[in-house]
Amino acid sequence: MGPLTVRGLTKRYGDVAALTDLSLEVRAGELFGFVGRNGAGKTTTMRIVLGVLAADAGEVTFAGTALTFEARRRIGYMPEERGLYPKMRVAEQLRYLGELHGMTGADARASATRWLERFGLQERRDDELQSLSLGNQQRIQLAAALVFAPELLVLDEPFAGLDPLAVDVMSAVLREQADAGIPVIFSSHELELVERVCDRVGIIDRGKMVASGTVDELRAGARERRRVDVPGAADDWDAGVPGATLLESDGSSRVFELDPGVDDQSLLQAALATGPVRAFERVEPSLGELFRTVIGEAGA
Amino acid sequence: MTARSWSLGGARRLPATLLVARREIRMRLRSRVFVGGTSVMAVLVVVGIVAASLLAGRTTPVRVGFSGGSQALERSFTATAAALGVEVTVSDIADVTAGTAQVTAGTLDVLVTGSATAPTAVAKESMPSNVESALSLAAEAARLSDAGLSPTAIASAMALVPVQLLAPPNPKDNENLFASLALGILLWIALGQYGNMVAQGVVEEKATRIMEVLLATIQPSRLLAGKVIGTGLVGLLQLTIVGTAALVAVHVTNVAAIPALGVASILADISWFLLGFLFYATAYAAVASLVSRQEEVQGAVAPISIFQIAGYLLMYAALPNPSGPLATVCSLLPPFAPILMAVRMADSDVPFWQVGLAVALIVASIVGLTWLAGRMYRNAALHLGTRVRFMDAFRG
């Protein structure tokens, strides 16, 4: 199934440009992480994909055809603002949502039961949602997005507010869905988690997609880093090295970022000149560091 | 489980509107508010009717006892009293003293003694004049019979004067006034109550944030229609329960005549309730979508409530003259028609074209309102927090 393709989305709220020519693609069986600061346009993008918001320009296609209302009913959606009926019974609620998404009553009931068993909430099936703990309510919210066996998953901040156990359940379920061939896109502020879970990442800033690809691809576009450990070195031993910027220092250990085209051997020579070098290694920037770099450049 | 036993469509896919309506009905029927509210309403209505019947008092027949020779008058007295429009019961009294004691005690209203041709009547405080006339006429007939006249001659001699009325009152007028007023009040309460229920349901979906999940899978107009239909059917059920309790109470206490309660008039009332409900509930839903919290609902629906209150007041103004210009014009206007036209139809004969015009106007308004409400719903439903201005919701 898939891919989900978003091309050239533009959306304005009055004088504010929420999205400018935003494009992205989520392939079948892929977990796509959507990261950006608050107000960058993640929720707006997802709402447009779901059809609850209309774009000023651009198109959204799934498996090559424009998303119709009927096709959108096959999308599993978890909005940023969570919401279910507090006074409705858990199993009844899942069944209702399954039927609204086009399942028969019998299928919806069976699927609701499966998901409740999966989350260990079978014995709470006839309880009102509001009587469940917050963590369990979040599990039900996920089940609500999955109960009708969606062909595409769009989840806005699915990890927000989850306890560590729920985070594990959530990431396992998302992986499972992607492995079953479903394109999954979710937004998150938890960059470490995104790095760990996602196949590909898109970074959005002020309504524009500023970088996208696998984390390795993003790294390939970033500057090289070296960690150098020279115990007993002079404080300013690195002052004269051209093209090397000190990022952080921890005791005698320092991390440098090299300008494009700079040879790391000049940094090593400078280090050797000040004392015995205990470590000289390549450092991979985390997604968080990449994110800050990309956003910093975009903002400059 | 109850939820399973009356569920629809196990192996079928139901249209989204129907699913929404079904959920609405289930949740409402299950709620304590509905069960308790319906019971309280039914009890209040029955208590009110019983109290009214006790206060009004029943028209009991006048009890007349005959003793001795006057007992020969019993048959002709009963017939004459009936002709004069008095309801009487007659009994034989063996002993005059005992009969007098009964009159004193109040268990007998009138005691007749003496002979058939010269009877004497004994009463406690006053003698009902019609009873006195009937007794006099019966005694006179007895004297004529004694004088040798044949029964036919007596009948023609004593025939009552025929009366011709040039402008007889409409028999529906007074008899139906009570019922029409009750119907109007009931409709008014029902429209307000169920309209508010829809408004609160809309805000509940906004406040609990489930709206966005719903709107991703169902068009706003269908969500709205399902909500309105579900709540309307629940309202109809509640009205039927309370209405049945009221009818039974009226029938048992005999406090008022149940006027022309043919199938046609019941259907007309139900139709006006449904049309009025669709009109007001759609309007309520539209304005409710502008706010995000239950506390703001009352303020938001206030402009619509004004029309309802106006309709209620117009009902009192129009009832005394249901065919006058005020009643006629107002009963055609969609906001007032559900109450005024229903009341007019119960109270008098309304020309067919007026009913048809009123129905056409309100149906057209409902279609227009649904379009408007769907548009406002789409634009305002995802806007949480501050209240959305009407024109912003309209323009989108």
Q: Are A50 and B214 an interchain contact pair (Cβ–Cβ within 8 Å)?
A: no
**SS3 state of residue A86:** coil
Report yes or no: A228 and A258 within 8 Å, Cβ to Cβ: no
Q: Same domain for B194 and B343?
A: yes
Per-residue pLDDT, B10: 60
Per-residue pLDDT, B263: 65
Report yes or no: B324 and B298 within 8 Å, Cβ to Cβ: no
Q: Extract the tokens encoding A145.
A: 């997005």
User: Exposed, middle or buried: residue B193 (CB in 10 Å: 0-12, 13-18, 19+)?
Assistant: middle
Residues of B in contact with A84 (CB under 8 A): 208, 210, 213
Residues of B in contact with A82 (CB under 8 A): 209
The answer to whether residue B272 sits within a structural domain is yes
What is the span of the domain harbouring residue B91?
62-157
Q: Give the closest of B1, B8, B213 to A79, CB-based.
A: B213
Per-residue pLDDT, A182: 93
| pLDDT greater than 60 at residue B259 | no
Residues 6+ apart with CB under 8 A from B154: B141, B144, B145
Same fold for the domain at A4-215 and the one at A223-284?
no
Q: Same domain for B384 and B292?
A: yes
CA A87, A89, A91: angle at the middle one, nearest 5?
150
Q: Same domain for B126 and B223?
A: no
The answer to whether residue B81 sits within a structural domain is yes
Q: Extract the tokens encoding B211.
A: 């709206």
| pLDDT greater than 90 at residue B125 | no
Q: Same domain for B43 and B76?
A: no
CA distance B208 to B200: 12
Q: Same domain for B150 and B223?
A: no
Q: Give the closest of A88, A102, A104 to B27, CB-based.
A: A88
Q: Are B14 and A99 an interchain contact pair (Cβ–Cβ within 8 Å)?
A: yes
- Name the residue of chain A whose CA is nearest to B27's CA: A88
Q: Same domain for B227 and B193?
A: yes
For testing contact with chain A, the best of B1, B217, B227 (most A CBs within 10 A): B217
Query: Tens of pLDDT along chain A (300 residues)?
Result: 779 999 999 998 888 888 999 999 999 989 999 998 888 889 999 988 988 888 899 999 998 888 888 888 889 998 887 789 999 999 999 999 999 999 999 999 999 999 999 999 999 999 999 999 888 888 899 999 999 999 999 999 998 888 888 888 889 999 999 999 999 999 988 888 888 889 999 989 888 888 888 888 888 777 888 889 988 777 788 777 888 888 888 888 888 888 888 888 888 888 888 888 888 988 888 888 888 877 776 554
| pLDDT greater than 50 at residue B378 | yes
Task: Give chain B's mean pLDDT.
Answer: 82
Per-residue pLDDT, B23: 94
Q: Give the closest of B9, B20, B213 to A83, CB-based.
A: B213
Report yes or no: A242 and A266 within 8 Å, Cβ to Cβ: yes
CA distance A21 to A7: 7
Report yes or no: B222 and B22 within 8 Å, Cβ to Cβ: no
CA distance A14 to B11: 47
Residues 6+ apart with CB under 8 A from A214: A199, A200, A201
Give the end of a domain, one of B157, B185, B214.
B157
Q: How far is B391 from chain A (nearest CA, A)?
A: 15
Q: Same domain for B50 and B71?
A: no
| pLDDT greater than 60 at residue B261 | no
User: Exposed, middle or buried: residue B1 (CB in 10 Å: 0-12, 13-18, 19+)?
Assistant: exposed
Which residue in B237, B333, B238, B355 sits closest to B279, CA to CA? B333
Q: Same domain for B129 and B269?
A: no
DSSP per-residue codes, A116-167: HHHTT-GGGTTSBGGGS-HHHHHHHHHHHHHTT--SEEEESSTTTT--HHHH
Q: How far is B32 from chain A (nearest CA, A)?
A: 12
Q: Are B216 and A75 an interchain contact pair (Cβ–Cβ within 8 Å)?
A: yes
Q: How far is B7 from chain A (nearest CA, A)?
A: 9
User: What are residue A201's DSSP bridge partners?
Assistant: A33, A213
Q: How far is A80 from chain B (nearest CA, A)?
A: 10
Residues of B in contact with A99 (CB under 8 A): 13-14, 19
**How confident is residue B385, by pLDDT bands cut at 50, 70 and 90?**
low
Q: Same domain for B121 and B250?
A: no
Q: Indicate the CATH number for domain A223-284.
A: 3.30.70
The pLDDT tens digits for B312-365 are 888 888 877 878 888 889 999 999 998 888 888 877 778 889 999 999 999 999
- Name the residue of chain A whose CA is nearest to B381's CA: A52
| pLDDT greater than 50 at residue B4 | no
Q: Same domain for B25 and B147?
A: no
Least confident of A243-257, B248-262, B365-379: B248-262
Cis check: omega of the bond before A3, within 30 degrees of 0? yes
Per-residue pLDDT, A235: 78
Q: How far is B195 from chain A (nearest CA, A)?
A: 21
| pLDDT greater than 70 at residue B176 | no
Residues 6+ apart with CB under 8 A from A135: A162, A163, A165, A166
Q: Are A77 and B216 an interchain contact pair (Cβ–Cβ within 8 Å)?
A: yes
The answer to whether residue B148 sits within a structural domain is yes
Q: Are A100 and B216 an interchain contact pair (Cβ–Cβ within 8 Å)?
A: no
How many domains, in total, are found in chain B?
A: 2
The pLDDT tens digits for B230-244 are 998 998 898 889 888
The answer to whether residue B181 sits within a structural domain is yes
CA distance B350 to B323: 8
Q: How far is B301 from chain A (nearest CA, A)?
A: 23
Per-residue pLDDT, B9: 46
The answer to whether residue B238 sits within a structural domain is yes
The answer to whether residue B4 sits within a structural domain is no
Q: Extract the tokens encoding B79.
A: 């017939």
Q: How far is B275 from chain A (nearest CA, A)?
A: 27
DSSP per-residue codes, B253-300: HT-S--TT--HHHHHHHHHHHHHHHHHHHHHHHHHHTT-SSGGGHHHH
Q: Same domain for B68 and B193?
A: no
**How confident is residue B1, by pLDDT bands cut at 50, 70 and 90?**
very low
Per-residue pLDDT, B391: 67
**Helix-helix angle A90-100:B16-30, to 10 degrees:** 160
Q: How far is B9 from chain A (nearest CA, A)?
A: 6
Give the end of a domain, one of B102, B126, B157.
B157
CATH number, domain containing residue B151: 3.40.190.10
Residues of B in contact with A102 (CB under 8 A): 13
The answer to whether residue B1 sits within a structural domain is no
Phi and psi at A260, nearest 5°, equal: -55, 135
Which residue in B225, B381, B292 sits closest to A52, CA to CA? B381
Q: How far is A211 from chain B (nearest CA, A)?
A: 28
Q: 């009356």: which residue's tokens?
A: B6
The pLDDT tens digits for A251-292 are 888 888 888 888 888 888 888 888 888 889 888 888 888 888
Q: Are A104 and B13 an interchain contact pair (Cβ–Cβ within 8 Å)?
A: yes
Q: Are A75 and B212 an interchain contact pair (Cβ–Cβ within 8 Å)?
A: no
| pLDDT greater than 90 at residue B384 | no
CA distance A48 to A9: 9
Q: 């409400």: which residue's tokens?
A: B373
Which residue in A210, A191, A298 sits closest to A22, CA to CA? A210
Q: Report how many Cβ contacts below 8 Å link chain A to chain B.
A: 76
For testing contact with chain B, the best of A81, A107, A148, A151 (most B CBs within 10 A): A81
Residues of B in contact with A86 (CB under 8 A): 208
Q: Give the closest of B11, B20, B382 to A104, CB-based.
A: B11
Which DSSP state fits A89?
Answer: B
**Helix-helix angle B297-318:B337-347, to 10 degrees:** 30
| pLDDT greater than 60 at residue B7 | no
Chain B residues at the A interface, defined by Cβ less than 8 Å, are: 1, 3, 7-14, 16, 19-20, 23, 27, 204, 208-219, 382, 384
- Name the residue of chain B whose CA is nearest to A110's CA: B10
For testing contact with chain A, the best of B29, B206, B211, B212 (most A CBs within 10 A): B212
The pLDDT tens digits for B22-69 are 999 999 998 888 889 889 988 988 888 888 777 765 567 889 999 988
Which DSSP state fits A75?
Answer: E
Q: Extract the tokens encoding B185.
A: 């009040």
Q: Give the closest of A83, A105, A106 to B209, CB-based.
A: A83
Q: Same domain for B224 and B333?
A: yes
Domain positions in chain A are 4-215, 223-284
CA distance A230 to A232: 6
Report yes or no: A229 and A252 within 8 Å, Cβ to Cβ: yes
The answer to whether residue B382 sits within a structural domain is yes
Distances (CA, A) of B155 to B81, B86, B141, B160: 15, 19, 8, 10
ipTM of the complex: 0.77
Phi and psi at A82, nearest 5°, equal: -65, 150
Question: For the CA atoms of chain B, what is the radius of gyration?
Answer: 31
Report yes or no: B380 and B202 within 8 Å, Cβ to Cβ: no
Fold of A4-215: Rossmann fold (3.40.50)
Amino acid type, B137: L
Q: Give the closest of B19, B211, B212 to A100, CB-based.
A: B19
Q: Are B216 and A99 an interchain contact pair (Cβ–Cβ within 8 Å)?
A: no
Distances (CA, A) of A28 to A68, A142, A184, B390: 19, 20, 8, 43
